[in-house]
Amino acid sequence: MARAKIALIGSGMIGGTLAHIAAREELGDVVLFDITEGVPQGKALDIAEATAVFGSDVALKGANDYADIADADVCIVTAGVPRKPGMSRDDLLGINLKVMKAVGEGIKKYAPNAFVICITNPLDAMVWALQKFSGLPVEKVVGMAGVLDSARFAYFLAEKTGISVEDIHAWTLGGHGDDMVPMVRHSTVGGLPLPELVAQGFLTQDELDAIVKRTRGGGGEIVALLKTGSAFYAPAESGIAMAKSYLSDKKRVLPVAAFLNGEYGLSGLYVGVPAVIGKDGVEKVIEFSTNEDEKAMFKKSVESVQGLIAACKEIDPSLA
């Protein structure tokens, strides 16, 4: 069987890390695309040379021409400008919307059968615009945010309780903004829902509240530390987890920004929800039961996403 082809649109910090992981794990041949000349070629060559150390036979190529992504099985999009300190994800809207137009048109022309994973922020609006610009089926265009937010939530829980991250299942829903919804009742440590964990004394309610708050601000915490960019290791790992579930038809349930068709009472927009990822892309959205508090938090988060979409339509009337 031919090797899978993975096109990385954007060869910056996340794109380069994605290429490294994809090559190490022999997920497929990798094309690094960017508008900057030399960077994708340099990263592709650097990683290609490393394949002789870790013993992987995939091919890597750097490109500035969309023709090179032809017939990709997976496209992971990180093209755009990342957040700088003090800049909200929403400030990025105008700049990155234009980038999504160019990327969407490139994918439409050269890789219309790909599974497309968008990482560019502000995520929920960018993935929505990318689907529109590319014209690909909604189930084949998905946003990466929830895997990352949930991983942060799980890591903070592991750190506090001393229990292995492997035995923690944490979930966040809603938009990829500071009002995302960490699902405390549905997240488990060793099978115990978090309220039960508090009742059994593994951590206090105050500690849990602090973890929820830290999860919501997880992206900003890294931006403040790095000063010159945003997180890239955990975002890249999260994108790879989604690509692997698609490529091997693994049908993992992952929190992703999926297009909703009535689920959670919403239609026509992308929001973070748990979804089954398999060979057909987003194969099913899982609906968590929500109590009044969770419903209110979810509504607020969705309203932020709707606000971003309205702003996109204003900037580019072709999206209306």
If one asks whether residue 224 binds ligand APR (CB under 6 A), the answer comes out as no
Which residue lies nearer to ligand APR by CB, 64 or 188?
64
Which residue lies nearer to ligand APR by CB, 111 or 266?
111
In angstroms, the CA 226 to CA 206 distance is 28
Q: Which of residues 125-144 bind ligand APR (CB under 6 A)?
A: none
Helix axes 292-315, 123-134, angle to 10 degrees: 50
- Per the structure block, which two tokens stand in for 222? 């890294």
If one asks whether residue 175 binds ligand APR (CB under 6 A), the answer comes out as no
Contact pick of 22, 28, 121, 124 for ligand APR (by CB under 6 A):
121
Beta-bridge partners for 33: 9, 63
In angstroms, the CA 43 to CA 188 distance is 39
- The CB-of-200 to ligand APR minimum distance in angstroms stands at 36
- The CB-of-291 to ligand APR minimum distance in angstroms stands at 31
Is 42 marked within a binding site?
no
- Sole window of 77-85, 259-267, 278-286, 301-309 interacting with ligand APR (rule: CB under 6 A): 77-85
If one asks whether residue 14 binds ligand APR (CB under 6 A), the answer comes out as yes
Give, as one character, the DSSP assignment of residue 140.
Answer: G
Q: Residue 134: what are its φ and ψ, rounded to 5°?
A: -85, -30
> Checking DSSP bridges between strand 168-169 and strand 74-77, what pairing results, if any?
unpaired
Q: Which amino acid is at 24?
A: R
Which residue lies nearer to ligand APR by CB, 13 or 157?
13
Closest among 139, 90, 94 to 115, alpha carbons compared: 139
Contact pick of 7, 12, 181, 270 for ligand APR (by CB under 6 A):
12
Q: Which of residues 229-288 bind ligand APR (CB under 6 A)?
A: 229-230, 232, 235
If one asks whether residue 290 binds ligand APR (CB under 6 A), the answer comes out as no
If one asks whether residue 13 binds ligand APR (CB under 6 A), the answer comes out as yes
In angstroms, the CA 173 to CA 153 distance is 12
Active site residue 169: no
If one asks whether residue 41 binds ligand APR (CB under 6 A), the answer comes out as no
In angstroms, the CA 168 to CA 81 distance is 33
Closest among 237, 224, 272, 234 to 83, alpha carbons compared: 224
Tell me the three state secondary structure of residue 7: strand
Which residue lies nearer to ligand APR by CB, 209 or 221?
221
Is 252 marked within a binding site?
no
If one asks whether residue 34 binds ligand APR (CB under 6 A), the answer comes out as yes
In angstroms, the CA 195 to CA 5 distance is 44
In angstroms, the CA 67 to CA 48 distance is 21
Residue 124 has, within 13 A of its CA and on its CB side, a CA count of 33
- The CB-of-258 to ligand APR minimum distance in angstroms stands at 18
State the chain's maximal CA–CA distance in angstroms.
58
Is 90 marked within a binding site?
no
- Sole window of 29-37, 41-49, 162-170, 299-307 interacting with ligand APR (rule: CB under 6 A): 29-37
Residues contributing to the annotated binding site for NAD(+): 10-15, 34, 96, 119-121
Which residue ranges make up the site for ligand APR (CB under 6 A)? 9-15, 34-36, 39, 78-80, 82-83, 99, 102, 119-121, 229-230, 232, 235
Residues contributing to the annotated binding site for substrate: 83, 89, 121, 152
Catalytic sites, residue numbers = 176
